[in-house]
Amino acid sequence: MADRFARFRRVSLRSLIGKSPRSVAGQVFVLQVALVVLLVACAVFALVLQSERDTSSEAKRRSVAVAQTFAHSPGLLAALRTPDPSKVLQPMTETARKTAGVDFIVVMNTKGIRYTHPLPSKIGKRFVGTIEPSLEGKVYIESVHGPLGHEVQATVPVNDPAGKVVALVSAGLKVKNVVSEVDRQLPIIFGAGAGALAVATGGTALMSRRLQRQTHSLAPDEMTRMYEHHDAVLHSVREGVLILGEDGRLLLANDEARRLLELPPDAEGSNVSDLSGLDPETVALLASGREATDEVHFAGERLLAVNQRPTDRGGGPKGTVVTLRDTTELQALSGRAEVARERLKLLYDAGLCVGTTLDVVRTADELARVAVPRFADFVSVDLADAVLHGEEPGGAATAMRRVAVHGARDDHPLYEKGRLIDFLPSTPQARGFGSGRSVLVTDLSTATGWHAQDPARTKEILDYGIHSLIAAPIQARGVVLGMANFWRSKQHDAFDDEELSLAEELVARAAVSIDNARRYTREHALAVTLQRSLLPRALPEQTALEVGYRYLPAQSGVSGDWFDVIPLSGSRVALAVGDVVGHGLHAAATMGRLRTAVHNFSTLDLPPDELLGHLDDLVGRIDQDEAGTESAAGVVGATCLYAIYDPVTRRCAMARAGHLAPALVHPDGSVTFADLPAGPPLGLGGMPFQTAEVDVAAGTQLVLYTDGLIEDRTRDLDVGMELLRDALAGHPARPPEDSCQAVLEQLLPDRPKDDVALLIARTQPLSPDRVADWDVPLDPAAVARMREAVTEKLDEWGLSELGFVMELVLSELITNAIRYGSEPIHVRLIRDRTLICEVADGSSTSPHLRYAATTDEGGRGLFLVSQMTERWGTRYTPQGKVIWAEQALPRTVGEPGAHHGVGALPDGDASRAPDSRDEA
């Protein structure tokens, strides 16, 4: 019990110390303690007074009782009649005094003379006090200063049997004994007061602590200011405030909440579910007590943003506090802001999505798609036909071709894509195309000029629900290219002036891309035309190779890749593939110059390394010529691969200038890459090129290609070459055309970023029975024997009708070789698409065709050869030179006979040889 009291005192003390006297709780605590102390003091004082009064009353009561008892005691009257009453009464009074606990008992006569007294010396003396009332038979109480001091005494009469007062008895207490009695009671009184004070102070402290929590230790002026602000907030703030109890009852509603919710005056204290006029969803939210943040609810015609939070987070009472904000105007403003944001987003997306390619039709389609359904339900784009071909439209033309149409649905009745539409002058499209200004038609049902275009179709459009139109001209650099038509159906409101401005901005951004695409189309068409004129339109006729090819321009347009198949003398065929770095007209023009140069150099029957050397010199001169011009692009980066296949020897000679090595598909289906020395790109100079010869079996496929086929940003060169190997391997009998298609499908994406040239040639060697050759001795007499041998071979091949011309040509060539050349002399006869005669010797001197005068004895031999054959020429070999001539075959030629191998010429007369004194 003592411990609990000590703890209570400590808690009370801490509470008392912790309270600020400025706070309401502190001031209330001090006031309560002062009241308790005052009450306890008053109680103690009252108890003291009460104790004194009670003690005095007790003393008087005891004095009267003792005096009356003694006055009526038996033997008193008898003692009074004795001669010496004091002797008898003195012992009796002392005994009675001590027994009764009073300070004195005095018996006296009617004159006040004492018979007894605690002090014997006072016997016989007069009694100090008033005796008159007692003589009259009354009990008299008084306080006097007698022999014993200050005393309280009661005097009663002693009556004889007749009722006569015969004596008086007085009993009493000294005042100091009465006070000492009170002093003995004071500790109890003060102890009780202290206990009461402690209990009252503890209760006051507890009440003050509770008051402190409720007032948050605020001072009275702060409390006053807080409540003033509270009232100001509740009644002045433009936001509704509701406080709901745990049971859903409305505890408080400020003026704004009453106005927003139209609450009745007696709404406070009612359950929210009983309040009429509230939206059911709002009632459900308020009754649920769940947290809510800016939830929009209807309150009549208002849109309220409702926030709801619980009130017991800080230990407060359970319930919810609700704030209401009128967002009707804000919603309208935010709606307009959202519309503006969506329009800006549309323009931004149009900048990203429209014009991704340099294709007019695709750009128009992108414009149509980006506006549906965010701006219009249907969009159609009409362009002048000239724009599609890269030209500017004529100013007076109103016919346009629909190049794009897109809508939210596909069953619309608008004109279909690809249709050429001749708009009447009264239509919005024609007016916009002619004036260059947009036309807004808010109600198509009243647009009579539009109705006149196609009454039946316009009725279908209106019945479909399309009711509003914006016709915006697609205008760039002051030229109207076409019209963009935006249509809206019944699901949306009609277009307005703000949306007209948006449509103009949208079309203006797309117009730049469409015009760029138009200009690119024109340039691309020119470049493609140039390139197609420079590339082979058809492969030449030849029997040595079965050729398939593909050329794919890059996504960005034409470029400098090229290929060629060039028939050479002796049934040989040259294959060429080249690449000029870059794209556009310059690359295409440079490619054409290089291809022409290769053709020219190939007529000289140069070996591959020499031809590339001449081509390298040419490119160097081109670079020097263009170095001084403003647009000095140069030809740096040009590469070339040149190969010559001989179907007679079945050998292929190749050389390359910075180009990729060709692939060889062998008859067994395996694929290898030719081991060719890698020369520098054309135009660098300084390093010679090298020729490599490869034996090629019948049916082998030579695969020549440019780097666009195997190179890509996403893969290495080695990976591309392995992919090419995989595409070619295992198909030795596949036709070259099919191989080209298979390679492109396996290696290229849908839209290659670089152009590709691919040339695949399957070798078809001449059978030995179609070739005849002889060694010729350095003797003029051998000419006759050679004529006889050739005649026999032509008879064997069924070409006897060509014998005369061939004998004449062969005699001239052999005679020149014997006269001006050197050994060894060799003659070869080839039956191919033409009859070919070749005479080789060890000299490198070249004969020249000249016109002999009438007086000259010689100089007519080569002239006769040129006149009697289709073609003739000279080519050089490491062993010397070869002079060849071709003679056309008859239209119907039988199969050749057996092969005539190499052997000695028969003996004959050389006199048949013609005059062959042509100058070497």
User: 370-380 burial, b if ≥16 CB within 10 A, otherwise e?
Assistant: bbbeebbbbbb
| pLDDT value for 120 | 86
Identify the CA nearest to 443 among candidates 376, 500, 495.
Answer: 495
Residues found in the chain: 920
Closest CA to 27 of 197, 208, 225, 226: 208
What is the Cα–Cα distance from 829 to 793, expressed in whole angstroms? 9
Residue 28 has a pLDDT of 67
Among the residue ranges 224-228, 427-431, 614-618, 834-838, the one predicted with the least confidence is 224-228
CA–CA distance, 670 with 80 (Å, rounded to integer): 174
What does the pLDDT read at residue 918?
38
Q: How confident is the model at residue 604 (pLDDT cuts 50, 70, 90)?
A: confident
66 C-beta neighbours (distance < 10 Å), count: 25
Q: How many CB atoms lie under 10 A from the CB of residue 247?
A: 8
> So what's the pLDDT on residue 861?
64
**Picking from 84-88, 256-260, 894-898, which range would have the lowest pLDDT averaged per residue?**
894-898
| Cβ(171)–Cβ(70) below 8 Å | yes
CA–CA distance, 445 with 451 (Å, rounded to integer): 8
Q: What is the pLDDT of residue 329?
A: 66
Nearest to 28, CA basis, from 287, 207, 266, 193: 207
* Radius of gyration of the chain, Cα coordinates, nearest whole angstrom: 69
Unique residue bearing structure tokens 């196609």: 454
Q: What would the two tokens of residue 550 be?
A: 């593909």
> In whole angstroms, what is the distance from residue 694 CA to residue 831 CA?
24
| The two structure tokens encoding residue 188 | 């109890």
Q: Span 49-71, mean pLDDT? A: 78
pLDDT at site 612: 93
Using DSSP, state whether 488 is helix, strand or coil.
strand
- pLDDT confidence of 293, banded at 50, 70, 90? confident
The model's confidence at residue 666, banded by pLDDT at 50, 70 and 90, is: very high
What are the tens digits of pLDDT across the range 313-359?
A: 766 678 888 888 777 665 665 556 666 677 788 888 888 888 888 88
Q: Which residue has the higher pLDDT, 351 or 441?
A: 441
Please give the Cα distance from 138 to 394 (Å, whole number). Answer: 154
Q: pTM for this one?
A: 0.53
Strand order in the sheet with 545-552: 545-552, 756-763, 701-705, 663-665, 671-673
Q: Which of 254-268, 506-520, 882-896 has the lowest mean pLDDT?
A: 882-896
Q: Give yes or no for residue 917 having a pLDDT over 50.
A: no
Q: Which residue has the higher pLDDT, 618 or 486?
A: 486
Q: Which residue has the higher pLDDT, 564 or 905?
A: 564
**Hey, what's the torsion of the CAs at 703, 704, 709, 713, to 10 degrees?**
120
How do beta strands 701-705 and 663-665 pair? Answer: antiparallel
Under 8 Å CB-to-CB from 740, ≥6 apart: which residues?
Answer: 548, 549, 550, 758, 760
Q: For 729, phi and psi rounded to 5 degrees? A: -70, 145
* CA distance linking residue 310 with residue 243, whole number of Å: 10
Query: How many other C-beta atoms are found inside a 10 Å radius of the C-beta of residue 625?
Result: 11
Contacts of 103 (CB under 8 A, 6+ apart): 97, 118, 148, 151, 172, 173, 174, 177
The residue whose two tokens read 């005691």 is: 73
For residue 657, the model assigns a pLDDT of: 92
pLDDT at 12: 43
Q: Taking residues 445-462, what's their average pLDDT?
A: 90
Residue bearing the bigger pLDDT, 42 or 178? 42
- Please choose, from the candidates 385, 405, 389, the residue with its C-alpha nearest in 3D space to the C-alpha of residue 397: 385
Contacts of 776 (CB under 8 A, 6+ apart): 782, 786, 814, 817, 818, 825, 826, 827, 839, 905
What SS3 state is found at 607?
A: coil
Task: Classify each residue of 709-748 as buried b or exposed e, where b means 16 or more C-beta atoms within 10 Å of its C-beta.
Answer: bbbbeeeeeeebbebbbebbeeebebebeebbeebbeebb
Would you state the pLDDT for residue 377? 92
Tokens representing 393? Answer: 């439209």
Q: Which residues contact 547 (CB under 8 A, 6 or more apart)?
A: 539, 565, 736, 759, 760, 761, 762
> Which has more pLDDT, 906 or 800?
800
398 or 650, higher pLDDT? 650
Q: 796: number of CA atoms within 13 Å, CB side?
A: 16
CA 405/CA 369 separation, integer angstroms? 8
Q: Which residues, at least 6 apart from 509, have a Cβ–Cβ distance to it below 8 Å?
A: 347, 350, 351, 354
- Residue predicted with more confidence, 16 or 576: 576
Per-residue pLDDT at 357: 83
pLDDT tens per residue, range 165-180: 889 988 888 767 665 5
The mean predicted confidence, pLDDT, of the chain is: 81
Task: Write down the residue that tokens 């017991």 correspond to.
Answer: 312
Instruction: Work out the percent of the chain whose per-residue pLDDT is above 70.
Output: 83
Judged against a pLDDT cut of 50, whether residue 2 lies above it is answered with: no
Q: Could you tell me the CA-to-CA distances from 690 to 506, 658, 659, 680, 687 in Å, in that order?
A: 60, 12, 13, 11, 10
Please, which pLDDT band fits residue 7 given cuts at 50, 70 and 90?
A: very low
Sign for the CA dihedral angle at 63, 64, 65, 71 comes to positive
What is the model's pLDDT at position 630?
52
pLDDT given for residue 201 in this prediction: 73
β-strand partners of 758? 550, 705
Q: Does 824 sit behind a cis peptide bond, omega within 30 degrees of 0 on the bond before it?
A: yes
Residue type, 568: L
Kindly report which listed range (129-133, 258-262, 431-435) carries the lowest average pLDDT score: 258-262
Per-residue pLDDT, 609: 93
Cross-strand pairs, 583: 559
pLDDT cut 90: percent of the chain above it:
23
Structure tokens at 844: 């490198």
- Return the pLDDT at 644: 96
User: Residue 589, exposed/middle/buried by CB under 10 A (0-12, 13-18, 19+)?
Assistant: middle
Place of tokens 């110059």: 593
Residue 530 has pLDDT above 90, yes or no: no
Among 764-768, 819-823, 910-914, name the one with the lowest average pLDDT.
Answer: 910-914
**CA–CA separation, 213 and 206 (whole Å):** 11
Which whole number is the average pLDDT over 293-298? 78
Torsion, Cα of 210, 215, 221, 225 (10° steps): -160
Is residue 467 very low, low, confident or very high in pLDDT (cuts 50, 70, 90)? Answer: very high
Number of Cβ atoms within 10 Å of the Cβ of 457: 13
Amino acid code (one letter) for 339: V
Rounded CA gap, 680 and 613, in Å?
11
pLDDT tens sequence across 548-572: 999 887 766 667 788 999 999 889 9
Lowest-pLDDT choice from 337-346, 450-459, 485-494, 709-718: 337-346
Residue type for 120, please? P
User: Which pLDDT score is estimated for 22?
Assistant: 58
Structure token digits, residue 423? 């708009």
For 813-840, write each residue's pLDDT tens digit.
888 888 888 889 999 999 988 999 999 9
